[in-house]
Every structure is written in structure tokens, then in C-alpha cells.
Amino acid sequence: MTTQTTKSFTTVLKVLVQGSPLPDPVAGRLVSAWIDTSVNVPAAFRLVFSDPARDLLSTFPSLTVGAKTELIPYTDGTKGRPLLTGEVTALEADADGTGKSLIVRGYDPGHRLLRNRRVAGYPNMTAADIVRRLATQNGLRTGTIDPTPTVYELATQPNLTDWDFLARLARENDVHLYFDEEGRLQFTALRTASGAPADTTPSGQSPYVLEFGANATNSRVSVTAAGQVPSVSVRGWDVQTKRPLSADAPATASTQILTDTTPAKLSTPFGAASLTGTAVPYTTQAQVRHAAQALADDVTGSFAELEIAVNGNPELRPGVPVALNGAGSPFEGKYTVTGARHVFASRQQYTTWVQVSGRQFRSLYGLAAGSQEAPALPGVVVAVVSNIKDPLKMGRVKLRFPWLSDTYESDWCRVAQFGGVRGGGLILPEVNDEVLAAFDRGSLEHPYVLAGLYNGVDKLPRIKEGSPPVDATSGTVNWRSLASRGGQAVELLDDARRARGVRLRTGDGALTVHLDQNRTTVTIRSDGSVTIQGARGVDVKAGGDLNLTAARAVNISAGAALNLKAGGKVGLTAGGAVTLDAVGTASVKAVGPVSLVSAANASVTAATVTLTGVTLRNGVPF
């Protein structure tokens, strides 16, 4: 296809399919073409062929979906750099008043990154590392990939396409994602506008000058104070230090747009204002610092917009600095191109539409694609605990989401507890427990465990009485329980017909402590032994009888005195002998009589026996 420019040279668009030029009969039927290139969205192309007999595809079978396509401008017979290297993705048959046509559509290799959504985690990697990995997985060549300083503990791709995920990483790291004319993936900052020629340069002296009244045929340039603020800030929360995170960045000038005015000048009449980014739950100072700078660049990159049609110029491409001449102040200056659309048509002038729009997408694809932010998860979801060995010993766990992915595992996430400073409670789930999870600001990268869940496999706990948790007749709760997986439990019993009170039991049932509300008793039962120990003393008091019963011996020992005191009589009854041994003096004293009665002999043995008292004979003193 040959088109004329207003200058005296001719530009020819040559189409290569699978590395070979179109045959002359096919090339002669090319009616029109456009190539739409942009940063942050895949470049697209459309070729329209006259096809009155509907035989073009059979005549040239290489022109099929998936065919590699190169679109190369030739100016005055000199081959230029490709405008786009891509692939055919669609074929259309069209008919209207002008006749029948075959329309061929395609994209640069970036469309491969849009073919599927992926749920994946990338632990301990930088954005640059992730770009290289995904490029390899998609069979893509890479060009310039700027090093990125932030190492993500776990960067999560939450059911996003690879393109949208990488575009998100590009925004967070203040770079741009696009493919160059050779089809190589670029993850890099755009060139600054300062590299453009002086804005007083005539367009005839440089292909990088857009001049009103000369090569510019249709123009729209604007500057706006809308959304402009002197500074921006981003905030987050550091879990490790329990402190807020914040970073500020000035939003007073743009390196992509250099004109007589600046964002700061435009916003000054409206007074001080600020913009705070809180939508993403950042957790490190490095993250909030880079996010603040990226937010500032987004703000300042939108204070001016440019859309100009110029005589066809294949040198005008995304990322190229250009000068705007003849527009007057405050519009004249230097700009970095963010999009370029090259339009070829038979017997019409080759035209290039140049766009400068910051990260705002003006292409049809960009408008239709919508936001590239991770889809928010506003509600709660079920999850399964996969790991509880928290290296920081903070009681965190890792989760899997079986409804989302078979392979994705979350980063370490906190578990909702009865938390408090030097207080609260700790109840951790275990591996394979089903739990209820929620997400900080809807981010899959920041889950929290809210509670554990029962299901058809993991049943409710049971109590020994066998009563159900809810009474089938009254609908009241019979009991509540706090139990470990091993069965150690605290049971709160409210079944009026069976048991009321509080019971503490071990998992094997060998030891229980039961506070029985119905009987007003406290029962301690052990299949082993029970030990009561007090460093200073132990008091046992009973309002009624105190009974000590043992199946075998009862042993009472004291390191000092042993005192037995009764308000009434003291009775000692033994099924066998009674022995009283004393290392020192043994005394038996009574205010009344003392009787020693034996059914057999009574013996008193001592070195000396002294009996003191009134002597009686036949009950009469003498």
C-alpha cells in the first residue's frame, strides 16, 4: 500500500506474514490499514483487503489465525523499523456498499498475556523477577526490564490475567509495560520529555516536532487543574513493629510533560490539598515509598493531554519525546508520547495520530478493558489451613483456597484471637482445619482467619451425656464447648434434664473436674492420682461432715506438730491393732475418767511405773 505525505516522499506499508511479504496480487488488494500502539495496553492492527470473490484466504492460505505478522513502513524505498510485530487473532468477512472485504485483525505478543487468568503466588521475588518468569511461561522474548528494588514476601496474582497482573506491578514500581516494534516485552520507565527537540524547532527540521499550521492537521491539547494536588501520601501498617507506615511525595511537576505551566501552578489558585492512597494494604516502608512516588507520577502525568493528527510519520511511537510548536502558551513544550495510531488508506494521506495521556487509556481496547486492579474480595470465604509453623512465632497460619486454586498458598496471615497487650487468648487452628477467612480491603494477598468451621467430615464435639447441642423440643442450647483436636475440653452445660454446670476434662476422659449445678457439688475424678499442694498452706473447710475415705491406707504426716481437735468426742476404731509411738513423752489427759478396758490381759511395762491418784477398794477410797 502506497500513501503520499504533504512532503515529497512516499511511504509504503509492507506486510510480512510468516516472514514472507504478501504476494503482489494479494498486496494489491490491501485497501486500508491501521496500527494502534500504546504503553500499558497491547498494540493492535487491522488490515482490510478487497475480496469480491471471497477467494483471498484460499489464494493465500498463510494468512490465518496465529500467523506472525510484521508491518513495516518503507519511505522513499528505504526500509524503516517495523511499526508492529504481532500475530493474527481474528478474520472477518465484511460487505457494504463499497463491496466485499476481508478484515484481518491482530495484536502484538502482549495478547498472549491476556489469554488466561491465573491464581499464583510469587514468594521472595522482585517485580522484575516475576516479569521474566511470566515471559518465559508464555514463550515471550524480553527487551529492557528495569531492576526493581522491592522484594515481595509473596506477590499474589489473584485470578488476574498475566497482563493485568504485570500492569499492576508496573504501576506499583513506577514503570510501564508494553512490547516494542520487534515484539519484545518491555518493563521500563519511559524516556523523559527533556529529550525532545526545542519547542521552537520547525517540523521540517525534525521528525519529532508537532507543529500547528505545518505538519499538524488536527489538534486537541489541554491542561487541567482537575485532580492536581501539591503532594500525595500513601499509608500502611507494619505488623512486625505495630506502627503505621507513611510516605509523602511531591506532585508538583512531571518528567513526561514539560510546558510553560506545571501541576503546581495549576493547583495553586485552589489552595492546599492532598491525596492519600489507602486502597492497598502495604506492610513495609519500601512499599509505601514506591507507591507514593508512583501515585505522584500518575497525578502529575494527567495535568495535560494531547491528541494531534500529523502527516504520517513512522518515527512517532510510544515512549518517544516530541516537541509541540505553534500552539502558544501554556501548551507549547515537550511531551513523551504514550500512544500512536498510524492510518494508511489507498489514495489517502498517511496519517499518524499522536496521544499523550499519562496512564489514562484512550484506545478502544484500553477503554473496554477496564481497571487492572486486582478484583476485590469483599465478603468472607472458606479456606483450609495448610501450614502453622510460623517462623516469627506470631501464631500466623498459611491458607489454601480450594474453590480458587489447587496450588495457590497464601502468605502468613494472622488469626483473630481475644488479643490484647499481655492478655487475651490463643486458639490456633491446625493443618487441614476448615476456616472462615476475610481479606484486608478485599486483597487476596492479605487474608485473616476469623473462625473455624465444622462440616460433613469434621463433626461437632460430643459430651458424655450424649445430649445434642440444641434441644429438639425447646430449641434452647444444651451445652457449649471449647475443645482441642486431642479432646481436651471445657464444657458449659445447660441441659436442665441431664447436666448443668461446668466440666473440665482431658481428652482420654481419665481426669475430670465437674462443677455440678444440679447437685451443688464439685467433683474431681482421676483414673490416676490427685495431688493438692500449697507452698504456704492448704485449707479444707466443710460446713457439714468431712469424710476421707481410701480403699487402702490413709497416711497423715506432718513435718512439725500434728494437731487433731474436735468439738465433741474423738473416736478411733481399728479393725486390727492400734499402735501409738512417741519418741518423747506420751501423755493421755482427760478432765473426766480414763478407762482402759481389755477383753484379755492388760500389761504395763516400764522401768518404773508410777500411779498417782486416790486408791479405791471396792469403789471406796481408803
Please write down the HEC assignment for all residues of 365-409: HHHHHCCCCCCCCCCCEEEEEEECCCCCCCCCEEEECCCCCCCCE
Cell of 81: 523499523
Domain 381-452 CATH assignment equals 2.40.50.230: yes
pLDDT score, position 61: 93
d(CA 98, CA 271): 57
Side-by-side strand order, sheet with 142-145: 142-145, 185-188, 176-179
The SS3 call for residue 583 is coil
285-300 and 162-172 are packed helices; what angle lies between their axes, rounded to 10 degrees?
90
pLDDT score, position 374: 59
Indicate the Cα dihedral angle 84, 86, 90, 93, nearest 10°: 40
Cell of 259: 510546558
Altogether, the residues listed in the chain come to a count of 622
Q: Is the separation of the CB atoms in 523 and 514 below 8 Å?
A: yes
Residue 9: count of CB within 10 angstroms of its CB: 12
Closest CA to 91 of 76, 106, 73, 110: 106
d(CA 350, CA 67): 26
Residue type (1 letter), 64: T
Q: What is the mean pLDDT of each run of 10 residues along the chain (622 residues)?
A: 46 90 92 94 95 93 95 86 96 90 96 93 96 96 94 91 94 92 95 93 93 91 92 92 93 91 91 88 90 90 92 93 94 94 90 85 45 68 95 94 91 89 86 95 92 90 83 86 88 85 90 91 90 89 86 85 83 80 78 77 76 72 70
Q: Is the separation of the CB atoms in 48 and 66 below 8 Å?
A: no
d(CA 520, CA 501): 9
Residues 6+ apart with CB under 8 A from 414: 239, 394, 395, 396, 448, 449
Q: Which long-range contacts (CB under 8 A, 24 or more apart) does 403-412 make?
A: 404/119, 404/159, 405/119, 405/120, 407/119, 407/120, 408/119, 408/120, 408/121, 408/156, 409/121, 410/121, 410/154, 410/156, 410/383, 410/444, 410/445, 410/447, 411/121, 411/123, 411/153, 411/154, 411/156, 411/445
Cell of 617: 477398794
pLDDT score, position 382: 94
> Where are the domains positioned within the chain?
2-108, 381-452, 460-529
pLDDT score, position 58: 92
Closest CA to 218 of 338, 345, 33, 352: 352
d(CA 54, CA 100): 8
Closest CA to 499 of 518, 523, 473: 518
First and final C-alpha spacing in the chain: 159
Q: Residues 291, 295, 298, 304: is their CA dihedral positive or negative?
A: negative
Strand spans (E) along 2-81: 2-4, 10-17, 20-21, 30-38, 44-50, 68-75, 78-79
Q: Is the separation of the CB atoms in 126 and 152 below 8 Å?
A: yes
d(CA 353, CA 94): 26
d(CA 514, CA 497): 17
pLDDT score, position 373: 56
Q: Is the separation of the CB atoms in 225 and 237 below 8 Å?
A: no
Closest CA to 193 of 335, 338, 316, 323: 335
Cell of 420: 490484647
Q: Rounded to the nearest 5°, which phi and psi values hold at 63?
A: -80, 85
162-172 and 127-137 are packed helices; what angle lies between their axes, rounded to 10 degrees?
160
Indicate the Cα dihedral angle 76, 80, 83, 84, nearest 10°: 130
pLDDT score, position 273: 87
Report the chain's C-alpha Rg in angstroms: 44
For residue 422, what are the CA distances in angstroms to 239, 419, 425, 426, 454?
17, 9, 10, 12, 30
d(CA 67, CA 540): 93
pTM score above 0.85: no
Closest CA to 296 of 356, 374, 234: 234
Helix, strand, coil tally for the chain in percent (to 5): 10, 35, 50
Domain 2-108 CATH assignment equals 1.20.1090.10: no
Place of cell 506491578: 169
Angle at the Cα of 147 from the Cα atoms of 146 and 152, rounded to 5 degrees: 125
For residue 607, what are the CA distances in angstroms to 567, 586, 604?
36, 15, 10
d(CA 269, CA 287): 32
d(CA 419, CA 423): 7
Residue type (1 letter), 521: T
d(CA 295, CA 277): 8
